Amino acid sequence: MGRPPHKVVDLFSGAGGFSLGLEMPERLNGIANLGYEEIGFEDDLFETVLAVEADDNTAETFRRNFGAEVFEGDIRDIDSFERWDDAEVVVGGPPCQGFSNLNKTQTEELDDERNTLWRQFLRAVEEIEPDVFLIENVPRFLKSRQGARTVEIAEELGYTTVVDTLWAHEYGVPQKRKRAFVLGSKLGVPFFPAKTDEETRTVRDAIGDLPNEPTEENWHVSRKHVTELSEKRFREVPPGGNRHDLPEELMPECWKNKTRGGTDLFGRLWWDRPSVTIRTEFYKPEKGRYLHPEANRSITIREGARLQTFPDDFEFYGARTRVAPQIGNAVPPKLSYHIGDAIADHLDGKTSDIDPKVDTEHEVFQKSFRGGEVEQARLSVFNE
């Protein structure tokens, strides 16, 4: 008999991208032509015991795929997390409505911070006292006052923290997605996983086996009610092209004088590259580079899920417009798996041999360590 799995609390859990990569990574094997064959841990290393999710459809998606207790509602409605104080790991991506600059902190903002969602994450950490916690957010979080306060408070709670931004495609995800992470530990100096030596996965690897014509089954569905004008626009965009390839007579008025920026708007994906970041409205070409590499349509919900490394048997709940945000907001399970592997090593006693108190460019943030070694100082530069 092996030891019991490490218990995990998944806050702002979304559909379960974090939990899938930690608890059930073997479900990723065999996705499309991504070449995932030996993903998984020798033992069941992690078990999610609580998920907290405010959106009803998203919470139901989590329930249908995991055995954890699901609290459906506002995290601020949980009086205490002490009932789950046997959890060793707390993970989550607290949503933020915006970030204040470090050098423009407002007094009223700090007075109200205990009601903010990132602070609620730290309340859970304070009450559960896990060995390790992990926060995921957009890169700008590490350049914000909220990010700095997160590290300050975590250090006051006795955690050693490291921060980094990771690119998903460097871990076998067929998507160029950059996200920020704050990793804290009471066991020593934690570290992020080293980049894998896998070949870069592409859009073709992820969705090339799916029919160009959506089947309307298992979420291989595209945007409905496409106008004739939109279809004409689709046909004008070549592989790798974008809105600038539209003839003037087909261009929306708001784009005619917008000659700079927005090169991904109304863009078509490349077959042989990773996709751009899959966001919450990836079924809308006007929101980014979300046209199919070949077919004259936006990518389907299933294609978006594949590019995020959700397996085809993962059960999503809700209408198409409610499922797409579940996919776009998720941590890619393949990336979560590699982070989980590093966390498991750390829980087993491995720590970085680098002194986290070395000089850095900022008094709050410390250098990031991958695989226990300094790859480079992954620090944001701040104006003090």
Digit-coded pLDDT (tens) for 138-161: 999 988 888 889 999 999 999 999
Q: 378 falls in which pLDDT band (50, 70, 90)?
A: very low
Write the pLDDT tens digit of every residue in 11-51: 999 999 999 999 999 999 999 999 999 999 989 999 999 99
Residue written as tokens 């990771």?
Answer: 166
Catalytic residues: 96
Q: What is the 3-state secondary structure (H, E, C) of 180-210?
A: EEEEEECCCCCCECCCCCCCCCCHHHHHCCC
On the question of pLDDT at 335 being above 90, the answer is yes
Q: In this predicted structure, what is the pLDDT of residue 251?
A: 87
Is pLDDT of 217 > 80? yes
d(CA 11, CA 14): 8
What is the distance between the alpha carbons of residues 266 and 318, in angstroms, rounded to a whole number? Answer: 26
What pLDDT is recorded for position 256?
77
Give this prediction's pTM. Answer: 0.90
Asked if residues 204 and 271 have their Cβ atoms less than 8 Å apart, the reply is yes
Please give the span between the terminal C-alpha atoms of the chain, in angstroms, as a whole number. 54
Question: In sequence order, what DSSP letters do the residues of 65-77 get, joined into one string?
Answer: H--SEEEES-GGG
For the purposes of burial, counting CB atoms within 10 Å of the CB of 41, is it exposed (0-12), middle (13-18) or buried (19 or more)?
middle
CATH class held by domain 6-198+330-347: alpha beta
Return the DSSP state at 46: E
**383 — pLDDT class (breaks 50, 70, 90):** very low
The per-residue pLDDT for 346 is 96
Return the domain boundaries, the chain.
6-198+330-347
Q: What is the pLDDT of residue 145?
A: 86
Percent of the chain with pLDDT over 70: 85
How far is the C-alpha of 54 from the C-alpha of 246, rounded, in Å? 41
d(CA 168, CA 333) in angstroms, rounded, equals 10
